[in-house]
Amino acid sequence: MKKIKFLTYFALIFSAFTFTSCDNEPIDPAVVIGGENPGTNPNTPAVFKADFNGQTYTTSTVIAELTDEGITIVATKPSGEMFAFVVNSTATGTYPANQNLLSYTPANSEYGYWSIDVAGGVITDTGSITITSINTVNHTISGTFNFTGYWTDTADENAPAPINFTNGVFTNIAYQGSVPNPNPGDEDSFFAKVDGAEFVENVIDVAQVSSEGFPDRISIVASKTSGERIGLLIDQDLEEGTYDITGPLTEDFVSATYINNGLQSAQSGSVTITSKTATRITGTFQFFAENFAETESSEITEGTFDVEYE
């Protein structure tokens, strides 16, 4: 297994979430609170703290940023000891730790602890982060978190035991950037059913994905605050028409995934591009998805999308 230097890995994961994002659109603008959250005094000094290993980490040196891609929070001490979070949303709500990135780096260390259990896989529940308030008047963000952190050097035979980070709180952290406009003009849309039940998303992410050795692709991901997601990858050079999904993500011109407490990849199905311009793509889709162990599966039907990709 590879050794993963923590800061390098953090950068890789962040880019994996963001790609070259074109749009991240909260479906319900009411989830973003314009004033302070009840119980949060905007005059309270900024604070970030968490309990672990019998001690409490506390610092007021915290930076945050809101972009179209999501929320980033970094808390540091002069020693270099650091917490860093990347949340793939710009709305209040509770998000699974194993489907976002919550991390802790000890002082003077090139490795750290992150909220994904490589041995257990993506299905492992490692905790959560809750964004309780985004105060767009005072430009502050507040929330809570708890997660189990796993050592990032997966090749280390003497790796430290996982750490439980509890009672995590960040209050009135000043943020840069702004909450994305939920009505930017040509509003993106997405619809699908999972095993016959409507999938009601909170966010639609659209990105252009570039990977060496593979064609450029358009990524469309519809997400719920629970972490449940439906994702499509479409070769950017494709024109109008119907394209079959045959299985492997690396071989098909189109591919799809479904995530709900674990990853399921499309084994069959199709994507139809009904309209495509230089900036917008519209189509339909349906697919059968299954996890790697072939123990869980889902039928995604009646899928439609109409999104801007540039």
pLDDT at 73: 95
pLDDT at 118: 75
User: Between β-strands 163-177 and 62-66, what pairing exists: parallel, antiparallel or unpaired?
Assistant: parallel
Q: What span, in angstroms and rounded, lies between the C-alpha atoms of 182 and 24?
A: 9
For 8, the 3-state DSSP assignment is helix
Max Cα distance, the chain (Å): 60
The closest of 282, 300, 91, 88 to 188, measured between CA atoms, is: 282
From residue 282, give the alpha-carbon distance in Å to each of 24, 26, 241, 303, 308.
17, 19, 11, 11, 9
The closest of 296, 294, 217 to 259, measured between CA atoms, is: 296
Phi, psi of 207 (to 5 degrees): -145, 155
* Domain endpoint, select from 124, 148, 177: 177
| Same domain? 19 vs 110 | yes
Tokens 């998000």 belong to 95
> Model confidence over 191-222: pLDDT tens digits?
999 999 999 988 898 888 776 666 788 999 99
| Same domain? 47 vs 156 | yes
| Same domain? 216 vs 140 | no
Q: What span, in angstroms and rounded, lies between the C-alpha atoms of 19 and 21?
A: 6
281 inside domain = yes
Length of the chain measured in residues: 310
pLDDT at 21: 34
- Structural domain boundaries, residue 224: 189-308
Percent of the chain clearing pLDDT 90 (strictly above): 47
| Same domain? 85 vs 200 | no
Chain centroid to Cα 87, Å, comes to 6
Please, what is the average pLDDT of the chain? 81
pTM of the model: 0.52
For the chain, the straight-line distance linking the first and the last C-alpha, in angstroms and rounded, comes to 37
Beta bridge partners of 106: none
* Domain endpoint, select from 143, 177, 211: 177
| Same domain? 168 vs 194 | no
| Same domain? 196 vs 234 | yes
| Same domain? 125 vs 215 | no
Tokens 């098909």 belong to 252
Q: Which two tokens stand for residue 255?
A: 């591919």
